[in-house]
């Protein structure tokens, strides 16, 4: 969630040293910050914490007593004014930013605005959730306005009786680069290869390195990627096909394991060269490799582990290098169980990648079956704490089978290149315009009463 909150327009500072880093967490804050500066609003408090989604509820409710969420007779309506009064308390701001919020905008109006990245049609209002002190819908009543990333989430909020709800997605605003340029990407890959596995990055309790992990860390994947990228840039040979995906740290919703198995199956039978670059964080990579201890014989036989066709790119890239990575790839593939928007997928399409993805939740609002290689999914009951991080009584997600993922990859490469290009252009022009920074800058000004 992105909190935009303050009683008055005041000068504030920006965490500039983070502004050039493309992170899987916190990028929505930077995107809104850029839009705000374009219309004369200064931005403060960009907090790019690595707090896991599973700790959100506890972190938030540790803040609640401090922001004095008192009730005036009506137990369903916490006082909105108490949040504004505590807005400039650094301790409160840090705790709340580390939990449900990414940044704080100071707006001309006296209003509290919540930007909600939620991927379900129901809210966390279960008795287990209320044991922390309140329900999600009651918490949202604190805010004067609620911005949801997707239409289906807006509809769900309105159905719960919440007022002043509008759809306001995270903007897509990657920098302009010259076509075919990979200068930034190559430079940063060399830096990652030299520095990313430094000891200071491997001291957390989740960073226990097994023998298998140590052996893998010794391989020079960055140099292999550099060679693949150079050959891809220089050749128009369809026998070299480059896929990309992004996976958040420890986020089971992203469906990374079936994706790796499915791609491994596809690559094993592909007559040419097919590579999947997994853009992730150092910790995610370690988690993936340590997961080998729990693998089944079938998973090992199906071959994503040890596959020379799957390369991990751990660490942060600048926006310029990130766009170069998108631009040189042929396909963007993902199979999450639910999405509130899926900005990396949208960015990749804007950079020319052909999407291999499911059609559900937010993705169904800007993808169509005739313009993508669809990954079929089915609804299954899942562990709510593992897949959404909240103590819900039940949770269902859209699960993809690894064989279907392999088939979707094959359909994508079987599609004529000119047809893929036409379909990507149609997605860009007809379905993604509402997510661009140009469109959303105008909407932001209107929402804040500046026009």
pLDDT tens, residue by residue, 88-103: 322 222 222 222 333 3
**Can you read off the two tokens belonging to residue 190?**
């060399």
Per the structure, the count of domains in the chain is 2
Summarize the confidence of residues 117-135 as an average pLDDT: 64
* DSSP line for 268-337: HH-SSEEEEEEEE-HHHHHHHHHGGGG--HHHHHHT-TT-TTEEEEES-EEHHHHHHHHHH-SEEE---S
My answer on whether 148 and 286 are in the same domain is no
d(CA 172, CA 174): 6
For residues 148 and 242, the model is more confident at: 242
Q: Are residues 188 and 306 in the same domain?
A: yes
Residue 120 has pLDDT above 70, yes or no: yes
Which residues, 6 or more positions from 338, have their beta carbon under 8 angstroms from its beta carbon? 119, 120, 253, 360, 361, 388, 397, 398
| 425 and 441 belong to one structural domain | no
Residue 355 lies in a domain: yes
> Residue 352 in contact with residue 424, Cβ under 8 Å?
yes
Q: Give me the residues paired with residue 240 across strands.
A: 273
pLDDT of 83 over the 50 cut: no
Using pLDDT thresholds of 50, 70 and 90, give the confidence band for residue 419: very high
User: Are the beta carbons of 263 and 409 closer than 8 angstroms?
Assistant: yes
Mean pLDDT of 202-222: 43
Would you give the DSSP letter of residue 411?
H
Instruction: Read off the CATH number of the domain in which 368 is found.
Output: 3.40.50.2000
Residue 43: name the closest of 114, 110, 103, 2 by CA. 103
Using DSSP bridges, classify how beta strands 21-22 and 145-148 pair: parallel, antiparallel or unpaired.
unpaired
- Model confidence at 126, pLDDT cuts 50, 70, 90, reads low
Q: Does 131 share its domain with 33?
A: yes
pLDDT score recorded for residue 402: 92
d(CA 95, CA 101) in angstroms, rounded, equals 9
- Say yes or no to pLDDT of 274 above 60: yes
Within a domain: 178: no
Query: Is the confidence at residue 28, as pLDDT, over 70?
Result: no
**Of residues 213 and 24, which shows the higher confidence score?**
213
If asked whether residues 426 and 442 sit together in one domain, one would say no
In whole angstroms, give the CA distance from residue 38 to residue 3. Answer: 19
Which of 186, 201, 178 is closest to 313 using CA atoms? 186
**What pLDDT score does 117 carry?**
73
* pLDDT score recorded for residue 215: 38
Same domain, 203 and 237: yes
For residue 148, give Cα distances in angstroms to 94, 117, 164. 23, 6, 11
Tell me the pLDDT band of 20, cut-offs 50, 70 and 90.
Answer: very low
* Prediction pTM value: 0.76
Q: Quick one: 289 and 384 in the same domain? A: yes
Instruction: Please give the mean pLDDT across all residues of the chain.
Output: 68
Residue 374 resides in a domain:
yes
User: Which of 119-133, 165-179, 329-343 is modeled with the greatest confidence?
Assistant: 329-343
Q: Angle between the 343-350 and 319-328 helix axes, to the nearest 10 degrees?
A: 60
DSSP 28: H
346-404 per-position pLDDT tens digit: 999 999 999 999 999 999 999 999 999 999 999 998 887 777 666 666 788 999 999 99
Question: What percent of the chain lies above the pLDDT cut of 90?
Answer: 26
Most confident option among 18-22, 212-216, 357-361, 383-387: 357-361
145 pLDDT band, cuts 50/70/90, is confident
Q: Within this chain, do residues 189 and 331 fall inside the same structural domain, yes or no?
A: yes
Confirm whether 177 is domain-assigned.
Answer: no
Residue 41 lies in a domain: yes
Is pLDDT at 420 greater than 70 in this prediction?
Answer: yes
**Helix/strand/coil for 333:** strand
Q: Is residue 83 part of a domain?
A: yes
What is the domain extent for residue 396? 183-434
The answer to whether the CB of 311 falls within 8 A of the CB of 278 is: yes
- Regarding whether 188 and 159 lie in a shared domain, the answer is no
Mark whether 132 and 246 lie in a shared domain: no
Collapsing DSSP to helix, strand or coil, 266 comes out as helix
* Span between the terminal Cα atoms of the chain, in Å: 26
The pLDDT value recorded for residue 195 is 44
Rg of the Cα atoms in the chain: 22
Residues 158 and 189 in one domain: no
For the segment 37-53, what is each residue's pLDDT rounded down to a tens digit? 677 665 544 333 332 22
Based on the domain organization, do 208 and 346 belong to the same domain?
yes
Return the pLDDT at 68.
30
């Amino acid at each position: 969630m992105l909190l935009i909150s303050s009683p008055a327009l005041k000068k504030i500072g920006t965490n500039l040293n983070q502004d050039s880093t493309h992170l899987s967490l916190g990028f929505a804050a930077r995107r809104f910050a850029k839009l705000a500066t374009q219309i004369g609003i200064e931005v403060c408090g960009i907090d790019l914490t690595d707090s896991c989604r599973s700790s959100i509820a506890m972190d938030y409710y540790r803040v609640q007593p401090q922001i004095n969420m008192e009730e005036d007779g009506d137990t369903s309506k916490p006082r909105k004014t108490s949040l504004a009064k505590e807005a400039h308390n650094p301790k409160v701001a840090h705790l709340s930013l580390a939990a449900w919020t990414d940044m704080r905008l100071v707006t001309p109006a006296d209003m509290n605005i919540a930007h909600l990245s939620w991927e379900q049609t129901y809210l966390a209002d279960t008795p287990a959730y209320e044991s922390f002190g309140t329900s999600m819908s009651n918490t949202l009543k604190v805010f004067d306005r609620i911005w949801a990333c997707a239409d289906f989430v807006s509809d769900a909020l309105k159905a719960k009786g919440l007022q002043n709800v509008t759809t306001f997605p995270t903007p897509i605003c990657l920098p302009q680069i010259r076509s075919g340029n990979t200068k930034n990407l190559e430079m940063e890959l060399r830096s990652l290869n030299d520095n990313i596995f430094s000891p200071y990055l491997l001291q957390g309790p989740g960073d226990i390195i097994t023998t298998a992990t140590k052996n893998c860390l010794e391989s020079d994947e960055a140099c292999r990627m550099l060679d693949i990228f150079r050959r891809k840039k220089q050749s128009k040979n369809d026998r070299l096909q480059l896929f990309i995906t992004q996976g958040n740290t420890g986020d089971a919703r992203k469906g990374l394991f079936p994706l790796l198995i499915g791609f491994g199956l596809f690559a094993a039978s592909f007559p040419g060269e097919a590579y999947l670059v997994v853009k992730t964080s150092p910790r995610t990579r370690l988690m993936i490799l340590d997961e080998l201890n729990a693998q089944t014989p079938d998973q090992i036989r199906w071959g994503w582990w040890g596959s020379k066709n799957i390369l991990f790119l751990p660490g942060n890239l600048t926006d310029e290098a990130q766009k170069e990575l998108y631009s040189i790839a042929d396909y963007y593939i993902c199979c999450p169980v639910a999405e509130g928007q899926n900005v990396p997928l949208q960015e990749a399409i804007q950079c020319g990648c052909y999407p291999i993805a499911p059609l559900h939740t937010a993705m169904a609002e800007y993808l169509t079956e005739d313009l993508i290689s669809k990954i079929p999914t089915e609804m299954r009951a899942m562990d709510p704490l593992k897949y959404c991080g909240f103590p819900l009584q039940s949770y269902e997600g859209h699960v993809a089978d690894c064989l279907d993922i392999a088939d979707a990859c094959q359909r994508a490469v079987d599609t004529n290149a000119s047809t893929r290009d036409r379909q990507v252009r149609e997605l860009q022009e007809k379905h993604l315009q509402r997510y661009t920074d140009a469109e959303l800058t105008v909407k932001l000004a209107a929402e804040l009463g500046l026009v």
